[in-house]
Structure 1
Amino acid sequence: MAKKLFIPGPVDVSPEVAAKMSEPMISHRSKDLYDLHAHLIESLKRLMYTQNHVITFTSSSTGVWEAAVRNCVQKKVLCVDNGAFASRWFDVAVACGKEADKLEIPWGSTVKPEQLDAALSKGGYDSVTLVHNETSTAAMANLQSLAPVFKSHGVTSLVDCVSSLAGVKIEVDKLGLDVCLSGTQKALAVAPGMAFASVSPKALEISKTQKGKGYYFDFIVHMKYWEKDHQTPATPSIPHMRSLDYQLTKILDVEGAENRFKRHHEMANTARSWAKKHFELFTEEWCASDTVTCVKNTRNADLSALGKELSAKGYQFSNGYGKLKGQAFRIAHMGDRKPEELATYLAAIDDVLKL
């Protein structure tokens, strides 16, 4: 039985978006593909509020972490570490042979401007990695307050918006983000398997001088092919391109981006109110996410049993991630999820736990 996915990715994909992946195949070296690619990039730029070029990758977003590090970290990177995914990006930087330091923030919180400023003031950093919306803890950073700190220190900003983009308004150009990366399987509500990043002129200039970038994730290689009739260096996932392009048209021209952001914010308020009524928020409320809520298991409920009961009712439950398993659980409210579906899911938890 197919379950409704109340997990923070992958999320449910609508039948019409999924159907775009099964259309007849076309050549990856054809005008049809080049036109599709060009339209997809323009739509992504609209969603990201940027004039910077956007590069697509047939990979998970983790691959684009590596791309950002290999292309843009020159000598030393500061990695903001406030959760499982932020910590893993640090591991990726080290694995890529870069000198990296952690700015450790307690799980359930995120970095404040003064903390970032103090860390960067120690000197020696040319870049920063930041997970905007830490999915393991549901903590969302305030990019508006952090962007001036990036600018004042002249660092290259590498920002993961994997679980926030398309659920929260992220104005890349106003914020001055150098690399803003995301993937298809969360708030965009497309099948997993494709990722992308907006890349600033500054990031491209740095990439030109970098060594040891490899080939597949080299920004400059991608730009050369783009400038040649909107091509890609390697065969892309054409089904993903079609599905994402179709979904972006729905987001931008049917629902409307602002309406989508509003819907996500309203669902977040619903989830947070429910959590505070029956449990506690794991996340500090000032930085609570609009796409996922992390609930502290103050009732000491058997979360494994809860997951099994919800599965029998047709729902996929999300236990705490990593060290939070059993101590907290997550409720995703992202993608094409509707407020009434969230309400029904919360009622199902009420029923199982006799709340």
Structure 2
Amino acid sequence: MSVTHTLFTVGPVEVRKEVLESMTKPMITHRSKEYEKLQEGIVEKLHKTLDTDLNILMSPASASGLLEGCVRSGVSSRMLGLSNGSFGDRWQGIGTENGKDVRKVKVAWGKAIKPADVVPHLDDGIEAVTMVANESSTAVLNPVGEIAKAVREKHDPFIFIDAVTAAYGTDLKLRELEPDALVFGTQKALALPPGLAIMCCSDRLLKKAESVPNRGYYFDLVQMKKMADKNYSLTTPPVSLLYGLDFQLDRCLREGMANRYARHRQMAEMVRNWAKKNLGLYAEPGYMSDTITVIQRGSVDFSKLQKGLKERGYEISNGYGDIKETTFRIGHMGDLTVEEVRGLLKNIDEVLEGQK
């Protein structure tokens, strides 16, 4: 049974027909000259669209795999994990499950993490600080640049950033940020199917990884880099998805990254204005995401709202984690347009009016 509704979800997100069609090219083997050329071109376009010279590593996985790779390859013993939502908690958990000594910083859900929340917990024994740029459970955009700057004023740990719902929807200014690892996947603002994780990583992280024991195999950054230098993947890559990524990066270049970020901001402001007028926003003012909006549910029956929207050809997302029962989420990222968001909000109004 085919799905005909447009996704305004947090991810996976809406994937256009032409994007899916771009993935139907004939299969090639992943140890061929054709594949080398494909990966080389993709890496060049990733560098250009993200405006970075950092190393690019890719893995057939969700982004969580490379978050684990950061921990296993970059931390021998101690790390500082920052969290103000479910996905910050997840990265802390990844550290703990991999046997690292994780010093945890917890900030109230809905609030942004500020430098003052972080600096008192640092010492020279902390090897890495993990943070989420755009917390998907709360729609808080953390000031990662300010945090990284404050951390580096007195200490020099690695800066590891989960950019899963930020990359390609928000300008993270990587040349200023200079993260040691920035991780994201294909199924969010790149508007592709899930299945490929991408990391921008520093030379010093790769150097440190050479001396860290028990890095595992699948997400060993050292081995991944050796293969990436040959324009190969460590393990079998999703070739069809790479065709799609190549197509989408070309689309990003045609649109222009400044225009892409501005479109995301315009969609976000439209949803935020609607939410402020009708139900209320969850995230702290001044720190709101441009790819996701978390909306206070109030007396709205989300299951009925979702049912009504699906009947009209739309789908949004429920709340997540600790606020699952009190909020819902609208994703406005990828290839969605301002006009499409306007249409969604009009239909939400009509569905809610019909339920009174």
- 1:241 is matched with which residue? 242
- CA deviation map 1:65-88 (0-9, x unaligned): 101110111221111111111101
Q: Percent identity?
A: 36
- 2:64 is matched with which residue? 62
Q: What SS does the aligned partner of 2:243 have?
A: helix
Q: What SS does the aligned partner of 1:251 have?
A: helix
Q: Which runs of 5+ in 1 are unaligned?
A: none
- Residue identity in the other structure for 1:346: L
Q: Hey, what's the Cα distance between the residues in 2 that align with 1:331 and 1:193?
A: 22
- Residue identity in the other structure for 2:148: A
- 2:128 is matched with which residue? 127
- For residue 178 of structure 2, the aligned residue among 157, 160, 176 is 176
Q: Hey, what's the Cα distance between the residues in 1 that align with 2:240 and 2:273?
A: 39
- Residue identity in the other structure for 1:32: E
Q: What SS does the aligned partner of 1:280 have?
A: coil
- 1:86 is matched with which residue? 88
Q: How does 1:66-77 map to 2 (within 5 A)?
A: 66-77=68-79
Task: Tell me how far 1:145 sits from its aligned partner.
Answer: 1.2
Q: Hey, what's the Cα distance between the residues in 1 that align with 2:67 and 2:185?
A: 11
Q: Hey, what's the Cα distance between the residues in 2 that align with 1:98 and 1:167?
A: 32
- CA deviation map 1:230-273 (0-9, x unaligned): 22222111111111011001101x11111000000011111111
The answer on whether the counterparts of 1:138 and 1:283 sit within 8 Å (CA) in structure 2 is: yes
- 1:32 is matched with which residue? 34
Q: How does 1:193-232 map to 2 (within 5 A)?
A: 193-227=195-229, 229-232=230-233
Tell whether 2:14 aligns with 1:12: yes
Q: What SS does the aligned partner of 2:286 have?
A: helix
Q: How does 1:246-257 map to 2 (within 5 A)?
A: 246-252=247-253, 254-257=254-257
Q: Hey, what's the Cα distance between the residues in 2 that align with 1:162 and 1:30?
A: 30
TM-score of the superposed pair, with normalisation by structure 2: 0.96
Q: Hey, what's the Cα distance between the residues in 2 that align with 1:32 and 1:149?
A: 45
Task: Tell me how far 1:124 sits from its aligned partner.
Answer: 3.0
Q: How does 1:133-144 map to 2 (within 5 A)?
A: 133-144=134-145
- CA deviation map 1:134-173 (0-9, x unaligned): 0010000112211212322201011010001101112223
Q: Hey, what's the Cα distance between the residues in 2 that align with 1:231 and 1:295?
A: 43
Q: What SS does the aligned partner of 1:181 have?
A: strand
- Residue identity in the other structure for 1:340: E
Q: Which runs of 5+ in 2 are unaligned?
A: none
- 1:46 is matched with which residue? 48
Q: Hey, what's the Cα distance between the residues in 2 that align with 1:325 and 1:43?
A: 37
Q: What SS does the aligned partner of 2:82 have?
A: strand
Q: Hey, what's the Cα distance between the residues in 2 that align with 1:46 and 1:120?
A: 34
Tell whether 2:277 aligns with 1:277: yes
> Does 255-264 or 14-23 show the bigger shift?
14-23
The answer on whether the counterparts of 1:139 and 1:287 sit within 8 Å (CA) in structure 2 is: yes
Q: Hey, what's the Cα distance between the residues in 2 that align with 1:238 and 1:148?
A: 38
The answer on whether the counterparts of 1:207 and 1:220 sit within 8 Å (CA) in structure 2 is: yes
Q: Hey, what's the Cα distance between the residues in 2 that align with 1:297 and 1:232?
A: 44
Q: Hey, what's the Cα distance between the residues in 2 that align with 1:181 and 1:144?
A: 15
TM-score of the superposed pair, with normalisation by structure 1: 0.96
The answer on whether the counterparts of 1:81 and 1:103 sit within 8 Å (CA) in structure 2 is: yes
Q: Hey, what's the Cα distance between the residues in 2 that align with 1:41 and 1:150?
A: 30
> Does 305-314 or 130-139 show the bigger shift?
305-314
- Residue identity in the other structure for 1:93: G
Q: Hey, what's the Cα distance between the residues in 1 that align with 2:92 and 2:228?
A: 30
- CA deviation map 1:263-290 (0-9, x unaligned): 0001111111101000111111111101
Q: Hey, what's the Cα distance between the residues in 1 that align with 2:31 and 2:80?
A: 40
- 1:308 is matched with which residue? 307
- Residue identity in the other structure for 1:185: Q
- 1:327 is matched with which residue? 326
Q: What SS does the aligned partner of 1:103 have?
A: strand
- 1:288 is matched with which residue? 288
Cα RMSD, aligned residues only: 1.3
Q: What SS does the aligned partner of 2:28 have?
A: coil
Q: Hey, what's the Cα distance between the residues in 2 that align with 1:90 and 1:133?
A: 16
